[in-house]
């Protein structure tokens, strides 16, 4: 089966407010296919070595409300490999009102003191979505800090 891979980035720093969960990047599949989440990258610009870690949540999203582009900044996905086909996905960053319904499928802590994480989901354990649904990365920081993130996915 031919594959086509796509990526989307926040493209700007997303400010996290202290003790407030915020969806920072997300992708929603088209109406004819799902999204197979392959990997993500997340980085913080914290400068205090004693800063309390940030909770990072990888969430499955039905986008019952606040789909990409609603109460968020629309981002244009880029195709990075495979045959050129219309991707049909929508993506966004920096939600001002959280999308629903979110189900946490992975959570962990990462220091905001220059913290960087690159995570590739192991084959064949990549999470995939139903049609018209997708994934978001949400962060909850104990103190104000900026974050940037990138998602990679394939159509499925």
Q: What is the pLDDT along the chain (156 residues), one digit of tens a residue?
A: 568 999 999 999 999 999 999 999 999 999 999 999 999 999 999 998 888 999 999 999 999 999 999 999 999 999 999 988 888 999 999 999 999 999 999 999 999 998 899 999 998 999 999 999 999 999 999 999 999 999 999 988
CATH number at residue 40: 2.60.120
Residue 58 lies in a domain: yes
Residue 156 lies in a domain: no
State how far the Cα of 38 lies from the Cα of 22, in Å rounded to an integer.
Answer: 22
Task: Please give the residue range of the domain that contains residue 38.
Answer: 4-151
pTM above 0.85, yes or no: yes
Residue 43 lies in a domain: yes
Cα separations in angstroms, 17 against 64, 87, 110, 128: 24, 33, 16, 30
Total domains in the chain come to: 1
Q: Which of 127, 126, 115 is nearest to 54 (CA)?
A: 115
Residues contacting 103, CB < 8 A, separation 6+: 59, 60, 61
């Amino acid at each position: 089966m031919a594959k086509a891979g796509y990526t989307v980035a926040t493209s700007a720093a997303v400010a996290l407010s202290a003790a407030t969960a915020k969806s920072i990047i997300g992708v929603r599949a088209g109406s004819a296919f799902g999204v197979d989440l392959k990997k993500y990258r997340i980085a913080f610009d914290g400068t205090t070595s004693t800063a309390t870690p940030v909770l990072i949540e990888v969430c499955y999203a039905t986008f019952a409300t606040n789909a990409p582009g609603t109460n968020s900044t629309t981002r244009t996905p880029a195709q990075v490999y495979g045959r050129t086909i219309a991707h049909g996905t929508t993506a966004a960053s920096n939600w001002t009102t959280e999308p629903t319904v979110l189900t946490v499928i992975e959570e962990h802590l990462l220091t905001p003191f220059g913290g960087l994480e690159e995570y590739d989901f192991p084959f064949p354990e990549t999470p995939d979505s139903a049609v018209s649904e997708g994934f978001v990365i949400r962060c909850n920081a104990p103190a104000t800090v900026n974050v940037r993130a990138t998602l990679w996915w394939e159509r499925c």
